[in-house]
Amino acid sequence: SSSSGSGKGDDNSNDEESANWRPAINLQLQFESSGKWPDDFEAIQQVKTAFYVKIAALLREQQSVNAVPTEGFLEIFFGGYCFRVVLFVEREVMLVKQRAQRMKTAVKALESSGTPDAKLTLAADLAEAAAVRVRRVNVLLPMHVSLMHTLQGRFPAFAPTARLAKRWAAAHMFSGHLTEQAVELMVASLFLSPFPYAVPGAGHVGLLRFLRLLAHHDWLHTPLLVDVQEQWTAADITRIHDHFNENRASLPAIFIASNLDETESLWTSEGPSKQILLRMVVFARESEKVMRQFLLRDDAHDEVLGTIFHTPLSDYDALIHLQPSAVPRYAENVQYKPVVQEKPSSEFKNLEIVGKKKKETRVNFDVVELYLRDLRAAYGHACMFFYDAYGGDVIGAVFDPQARTPHAFKVPTCQDRVPYVRPQAKPASAKKRKAEAASAPAAAEEDGEDLVVLGVEGVLGGFRILGQGLVLDVTNQKAS
C-alpha cells in the first residue's frame, strides 16, 4: 500500500505504550484469468477463503512460516513483519458492478410505476458504493502505489515531501477527511508540473510548495491535473476541463484528475467537504507564512518550524481527551511524551509480575480508529470529528449549527434532541427586539409549537460511554 505517513513509528516501535499495535503490509495476489471461477460474488469469496486456508497450510508445512487464514485475507508473520495477503479476481469487479446496475434498474422501475421502495433504494445505494469500493481498493490502489513508487525512483525528494505533507495534514486533525492517496497525488503534481519553480530538491522545500498549492489553488473552478504517465495530449486536457465544468456541482470539493481516474476523483469523493476545505486552506496559508519566515531568517530555530505541526484546539465545540497509554500509535505523536506507568499498589510480588505482563500484539488493531467509527455511526448526524491518525490523543468535535438551532419536533430528526426551554425575556429596546425577531428561527414563530434542540450534554455523555477505558475526559468548549 502507500508509504507511511509518519516515518517515526519504526524508531519507537519498542515503546511499551505502543507495543500492542503492529501495522500490516498489504499485498495483493492475483491469479491468471480462468473460466473456472464462479459467476457469483459471494461464491468467489468462499473459494478465496479456501485458497487462504490451503496457502497457510503449505507455508506452515514447507517453510515453517506462521500464517493465519481468515475469511477476508491471509496474514503471514515473517522477519518481524506482518504481511496481509488479499486474493483478487478480476471477475469480482464486473459482478459487483452488474449487481449494482440491476438494483438501480429495479429502483427506477418502481419509481416510474409510482410505488417506490425505500429499502430497495437504500440497498441499491449500498451496492453502488460497494462497487466503487471494490474497484478503488482492488484495481486503482495497486496501480496508484506502483505509479508513486515510480515517482519515488525519479525524484529523491518525492518520498520525504509526501511524508511531511501527510504528517502536516494529520497534525491538523484532517485524518479521515483527506486520504493519503490524495496527498500523494497533490505532491506528485509539484514534481511533474513545477512551473514556475524548479523541481523540489529537498523535503522541506516540497512541503512549502505543497502548502502553497493547497492554500492558493482555485479548487472551486479549476481541477488539479496529475499526468503521472505523461501521456495526456491537449485534447485530453480539454476533455477533462469540459467534464469538470459541466459536472462541477456533483464533483468533490477537491477534484484531482490522474491517469487512472480522469472523471471521478475517487480519492477525494468522500472528503473533504467544502467547509473542511476552507479550514484546510486557512491552516495552509498560516503554515506557509511561518515556513517562509523560517527559511528566510538565519537565526531561526527548529522549534519555530515545528509550530506548523501544532494545531489550535480552541475552534472545536468539544474535545475528547484520550488516555495516552491506551492510544496504540501514541509514540508517533508530534508532541510525544513518555507515558509514566503507575506502580502497582499491591505489596505482593506475584501481582506485580502479573501487572508487568506484556500486552498482546494485534495487527492493525487501532482502538482509536474503532472508537471514531462508532462515534460517526452514533453521532455523525449531529457533529463532525477531527483526529490525528498518527498517535493523536485528542479528538475534536464540531456540532452541526442546524442541530443546535431550536426547531419543531419531528420523529425522523428527534435523535439526541431535548425540549427547548426559551430564555426568560429581558427588557430590551425596540430596535433590539426587532432584530431578535428577524433572526429567530422560523419554527419559533409558530404559536404553541413545541421546539427541540440538540442535547449537547447528553451527547458528550455518550462520547464518554462509548469510549470507556479509552477516554480520559470530555470538555465542552462552547456554551450549549
Residue 84: name the closest of 147, 135, 23, 138 by CA: 23
Q: Distances in Å between the alpha carbon of 110 and those of 119, 121, 233, 433?
A: 12, 10, 44, 51
Given this model, what pLDDT does residue 447 score? 45
Please give the Cα distance from 384 to 387 (Å, whole number).
10
Given this model, what pLDDT does residue 406 score? 72
Please give the Cα distance from 134 to 265 (Å, whole number).
15
Element (H, E) at 25: strand 24-30
CB-based burial label for 342 (10 Å; 0-12, 13-18, 19+): exposed
User: Which DSSP string corresponds to 180-233?
Assistant: HHHHHHHHHHHHHS-TTSPPP-SHHHHHHHHHHHHHHS-TTT-PEEE-TT----
Given this model, what pLDDT does residue 438 score? 56
Other Cβ atoms closer than 10 A to 221: 9
For the chain, which residues score pLDDT lower than 50? 1-19, 352-356, 442-448
What's phi and psi for 355, nearest 5 deg?
-65, -25
Given this model, what pLDDT does residue 220 score? 92
Helix or strand or coil: residue 90? helix
Radius of gyration of the chain (CA): 26
Please give the Cα distance from 291 to 164 (Å, whole number).
13
Given this model, what pLDDT does residue 11 score? 38
Residues 449-471 have pLDDT tens digits of 678 777 778 888 889 998 988 99
User: pTM for the complete prediction?
Assistant: 0.80
Given this model, what pLDDT does residue 436 score? 54
Question: Is residue 226 within 8 Å of residue 189, measured between CB atoms?
Answer: yes
Please give the Cα distance from 149 to 7 (Å, whole number).
16
Please give the Cα distance from 189 to 161 (Å, whole number).
12
Given this model, what pLDDT does residue 174 score? 94
Amino acid identity for residue 433 in this structure: R
Residues 331-361 have pLDDT tens digits of 888 888 776 555 555 555 555 444 445 556 6
Given this model, what pLDDT does residue 5 score? 38
Angle between helices 141-154 and 180-192 (to 10 degrees): 40
What's phi and psi for 137, nearest 5 deg?
-75, -40
